[in-house]
Structure 1
Amino acid sequence: MPDRTHRVVSGDGTILVYDFTPHPPGRRADYGFVREDFEGAILCPEKDCPDHEPWMGVSRDLGTDRCCAAVYNHGDVVCSDLANCYILWQTVGRYISTGLHYRITWTMQAALPDEPGKIRRCSYLLESRGGGELLLASVLQEACGGGRLACDLSVSLHALEREGGEEPLVEWARRDDGTSMLGDDVLFLGFPGSFAVDAARFGGEVSGGTAYFVMDNDSGGQTEEPCRVYRYSFHDGAATLVETLPPGWHDARCMWFLPDPQISPIRRGGPATSSGSSRRGSVPEGG
């Protein structure tokens, strides 16, 4: 595996380690002269993947110049860029002469849901709370918007639905047209991983039915304006600027984390105190 890799842990404990290196324009992986752009390895809990090696390699040429997100989900690796998702799955064959097994990686490409009148600025993949569904969260901007204003931004949410068979059939089901499944959830959209959390754990500091994300200035490095943090409400469809990050913070690929509270020892005759906090935080992917 390359030295610079990204790591994503699924709700079932599966670890996906991957590296994405886009090819130069006009070049694709061919006969080993150009390596495949997606290279990864999967470590599953032994009880869930009894036939897997400790680390099962998976690699494929996706033929895209961008990989916004990649996750392991129910036996498959799912990747997305700004226009398509790519589902990678493996089948096991056996050599007749030796009886040894081998694996073949297959890929299916499916278009992301169309968003008329809007531009998809980024796409995120995350499991629903409880792990029942794989969700696609898309940060959108009005196509006629004049700048990176909160009023131009929105977030759409879809669930990936697959039907079995030799080649899975992919459909997208809208999940932001009602707040029943989002009423208690807050989504943190970042890179390399995104996640959903019960808003109650924040003690009223954040509201359910919302999504937090980071945006750059989309200037292609022409300005030094730092990134901004936004909150989107699925209840009223409004995006709000939460915070402008410190100078020098120009990479919007940020990772959200939830630090565990540090509980100090209980003192006799006094209440226990907490020296930590479970408030949200974000750090650059390389930080």
Structure 2
Amino acid sequence: MHGTWWPDLLPELLREVSCRLHVGADFIRFHAVCKPWRDSHGPSTTTGAGQFLPWLLVPIKKSGDSLNFRCVFSNTSYVAPPAISGGSGTGMNWVASADGTTVRYFTAFEPHGLTLHDPLAEGPPTHLPGENVLRRLEENPAGIIYNNGAVLLFSKHDSFDTTTAEFRAALLRPGDTEWMFVHRTLESPFDGAFCVAYHNGKIHVTVEDSLWQVVSVTGESTAATNNDDVQVPRPRSMPRQCDGYLYERSYVLESRGELLWVSVHILMHYPDQGKNGVNDLVDALSMSMHTLEEVTKEPEKLLWTRKDGRSLEDRVLFLGWPNSFALDASRLGMSGGFAYFLYYDDQGGCRLHERHGVFRHNLIDNTTEFVEWLPQGWDKEMCVWLLPQLTIAPVNQGPATTSRSNKTCAWVLVSNLPLRAKSFWLHHLFIMLQRLFSIFSSRLFGGKVIY
């Protein structure tokens, strides 16, 4: 690609070309060589691209760890310095935007208290309001920042008897000056994953697949009581053990005003003897999807109803921690009706180390495809999907530091050299040619010879 290829193209056409570049690295290369397209944008404007393909961000497991990024669509990896040093808390302490465009690292520093650090850009940390949020949430809180400005921080702590879990949340709604705190004891039959969402003025949380707790936070009090809580049971349409499936993990996200619950299941008998390859794994995986609806004729106020995968044929889902999101497939330049998620494979305990990989599930025909295995150390449950956001900065072109010579240059091409020609012979030949061409160039061109 060369800059002289583009001058005759209209700016609108150049922008159309850039909109079809969904890998961040390709977009940057195009921006670097295509000066007419750069000039068609004002300084510090957004990229104007349709949408970049998301990257995976692995969580920090201990202080000082580097940040590892991976784009499974371009087979590209990137390692960045650690986001922070000297802070408390690791692992699950991501605070991500609901749409996947930003991510922050949530930690506590003395004497500033809670702060949010940007792992991708240097700059001062964002200080949270002066409430003792960390003490109320205890260790390892995570969070989601919503498009309307609401901030939800949460944590879960399993009890010693492994039958219950303590769920704590802090919510800062748009326009509020004080945090609202939630503390609930939830059923937790195992040390399993949990997912949380803030939707329509309510906090939705589950720590297993049989029951959801919906906490109403529409009041003015800074402590939400459980008087208006609603428990939403598991839908009958979800695969069960009697159907030969085991529940693995849940994800919750909002798409076009709907709250979607996506759950991953696997066949109980995987791996069968002699069937433990990746093809057998994808055959054993299954996924179900439901949407939350308000009902008036039923005893329950809320119900999870089955979501037809064909209704998502124009969208792509990216399922991760702590947030999941959906994107229009047309903006990504790819087919819709798919969900990307992470899963592990220890072959029923036969492998010494778990393998963690990325999989793509077809929401229309309920089939799963293998994408790639991730490097060792990546965690299936804690990876964040992050959408690259680029901003075009003005290119400052200073004056040239050296003057360009206007003298004419002549070039000499020596071909058909004999095989026995040595360096000494070539040196002698060039000396003779230099003398001859110096005479002609000084008389005819007024320049010098470059050889």
Aligning the two structures, in what range does the TM-score lie when normalised by the shorter sequence? 0.7 to 0.9
Contact map agreement 2:180 2:223 (CA 8 A) in 1: no
Aligned with 2:253 (options 100, 116, 126):
126
Correspondence for 1:217? 345
Aligned with 1:112 (options 218, 231, 234):
234
Distance in 2 between the 1:73 and 1:168 partners?
18
Contact map agreement 1:214 1:253 (CA 8 A) in 2: no
Distance in 2 between the 1:255 and 1:122 partners?
15
Distance in 2 between the 1:259 and 1:157 partners?
27
1:217 partner amino acid: D
Greater alpha carbon shift after TM alignment, 153-162 vs 8-17: 8-17
Change (3 A) 1:20 1:265: same
1:40 partner amino acid: A
Superposition RMSD on alpha carbons, in Å? 3.0
Change (3 A) 1:256 1:27: closer
Q: Greater CA radius of gyration, 1 or 2?
A: 2
Unaligned residue ranges in structure 1 (runs of 5+): 29-35, 47-51, 94-99, 269-287
Offset of residue 92 of structure 1: 5.2
Distance in 2 between the 1:82 and 1:102 partners?
27
- Show the 5 A alignment for 1:173-252: 173-176=305-308, 178-179=309-310, 181-204=311-334, 207-217=335-345, 223-252=352-381
Please report the TM-score for the alignment, with normalisation by the length of structure 1: 0.74
Distance in 1 between the 2:147 and 2:231 partners?
24
Distance in 2 between the 1:63 and 1:246 partners?
34
Greater alpha carbon shift after TM alignment, 185-194 vs 147-156: 147-156
Contact map agreement 2:316 2:327 (CA 8 A) in 1: yes
Contact map agreement 2:359 2:370 (CA 8 A) in 1: yes
Offset of residue 15 of structure 1: 1.4
Distance in 2 between the 1:75 and 1:27 partners?
28
- Show the 5 A alignment for 1:1-287: 1-25=137-161, 37-46=166-175, 52-64=176-188, 65=190, 66-80=192-206, 81-90=208-217, 103-106=224-227, 107-113=229-235, 114-115=238-239, 116-128=243-255, 130=256, 132-146=257-271, 149-163=281-295, 169-176=301-308, 178-179=309-310, 181-204=311-334, 207-217=335-345, 223-263=352-392, 265=394
Higher helix residue share: 2
Contact map agreement 2:342 2:380 (CA 8 A) in 1: no
Identity of aligned residues (%): 32
Contact map agreement 1:78 1:88 (CA 8 A) in 2: yes
Higher strand residue share: 1
Change (3 A) 1:187 1:87: same
1:18 partner amino acid: F
Contact map agreement 1:5 1:19 (CA 8 A) in 2: yes
Change (3 A) 1:102 1:4: closer
Offset of residue 224 of structure 1: 1.2
Unaligned residue ranges in structure 2 (runs of 5+): 1-136, 398-451
Higher relative contact order (CA 8 A, sep 6+): 2
Please report the TM-score for the alignment, with normalisation by the length of structure 2: 0.49
Query: Per the alignment, in what secondary structure is the counterpart of residue 37 of structure 1?
Result: strand
Contact map agreement 1:226 1:248 (CA 8 A) in 2: no
Distance in 1 between the 2:222 and 2:200 partners?
22
1:117 partner amino acid: G
